[in-house]
Amino acid sequence: MKLQKTALITGASGLVGSQLLPLLLASDRYAKVIAVGRRPVPIVHPKLEQRVLNMDQLEQHRMSLIADDVFCCLGTTMRQAGSKEAFYKVDYLYVVKLAALTAGNFAAQFMVVSAMGADAHSRLYYNRVKGEMEAAIRQTPFRAIHIFRPSLLLGERTEKRAGEQFGAVLLRVLNPVLVGPLRKYRAVSAGAVAGAMLRAAEDDGGGILVHLSDEIANGRVPNR
């Protein structure tokens, strides 16, 4: 029997989100998929409802954020954001605010893309913000929280990043020799992360789980 659940996705135009949205729309689990963002995605589908809004005003749209499963694919870089403050707003404030509002609307599960080096005590600003975001998310009362910590993400971006392109080529070469404790450093495709996020939701379990690159790439999510 088909399940008539609702999924909510943010960051649907990004690298992971653009891979995840078609999976959600194709899944028998969901009768409705809500895409929330600053601009619409170029997809028309009978299940899809788009909420184009200012992310600074999420609280004003609280009643538009009602779903069973929430998929947060928000994320930027310091270069894209232009400042530490702008980066913090996207990668911490928006994510944590989304979690708080959807938990308050009784969503059951929250799936979020973080980063391999996430650590609230890191000296690196990027890693520290990701770690602080994870710490805040852990305090929200979802039945299940799935945190995805990919290493370098592989896939076609709308904006080319020379450093990441070089890193992707390098890691493709190094992936076979990254074994044992080094497996978590393997590059992983955005499509693999998207697939892992959907499988985690379909697991319908409970608790807080963290998924690393090697688990994601090898299809071992969920890994209880």
The whole-chain average pLDDT of the chain stands at 88
Span 42-53, average pLDDT? 96
With 80 as the cut, is the pLDDT of residue 160 above it?
no
Residues in a beta bridge with 149: 212
pLDDT of 151 reads 86
Token pair of 4, please? Answer: 């008539």
Lowest mean pLDDT among 101-105, 126-130, 179-183: 179-183
pLDDT of 32 reads 97
Does 154 reside within a domain? yes
pTM of the model: 0.88
pLDDT of 74 reads 96
Does 170 reside within a domain? yes
Q: How many angstroms separate the Cα of 2 from the Cα of each of 29, 68, 124?
A: 6, 15, 45
Does 77 reside within a domain? yes
Domain with residue 126: its CATH number is 3.40.50.720
- The answer to whether the CB of 115 falls within 8 A of the CB of 132 is no
Does 224 reside within a domain? no
pLDDT of 79 reads 86
Q: Which of 8, 214, 21 is nearest to 110 (CA)?
A: 8
- Whole-number percent of the chain with pLDDT over 90: 73
Cα atoms in the 13 Å half-sphere on the side-chain side of 160: 3
Residue 214 carries which side chain, given as an amino acid letter?
Answer: D
Total tally of structural domains belonging to the chain: 1
Span 93-99, average pLDDT? 98
Residues 160-169: contacts with CB within 8 Å, 24+ apart?
161/77, 161/79
Domain span including residue 62: 5-217
Does 223 reside within a domain? no
Does 211 reside within a domain? yes
Span 172-178, average pLDDT? 50
Span 4-21, average pLDDT? 96
